[in-house]
Chain A
Amino acid sequence: DTAVSQTPKYLVTQMGNDKSIKCEQNLGHDTMYWYKQDSKKFLKIMFSYNNKELIINETVPNRFSPKSPDKAHLNLHINSLELGDSAVYFCASTYGGATGETQYFGPGTRLLVL
Chain B
Amino acid sequence: SQQGEEDPQALSIQEGENATMNCSYKTSINNLQWYRQNSGRGLVHLILIRSNEREKHSGRLRVTLDTSKKSSSLLITASRAADTASYFCATESNDYKLSFGAGTTVTVRA
Contacts and interface: CB of A to CB of B under 8 A. Distances in A.
The size bracket of the interface on A is: 20 to 34
Nearest to B47: A102
Interface in A66-110: 90, 92, 97-100, 102-108
Interface residues of B, number: 24
A97 B42 CA distance: 19
A100 B98 CA distance: 10
B97 interface: yes
B45 A103 contact: yes
A104 B42 CA distance: 9
B42 A44 contact: no
Interface string B74-110: 0000000000001010001000111111110000000
B42 A90 contact: yes
Contact of A99 (B40, B42, B92): B92
A43 interface: yes
A108 to B, nearest CB: 6
Interface in B44-68: 44-45, 48, 50
Contacts of B41: 107-108
Interface of A: 4, 40-45, 48, 56, 90, 92, 97-100, 102-108
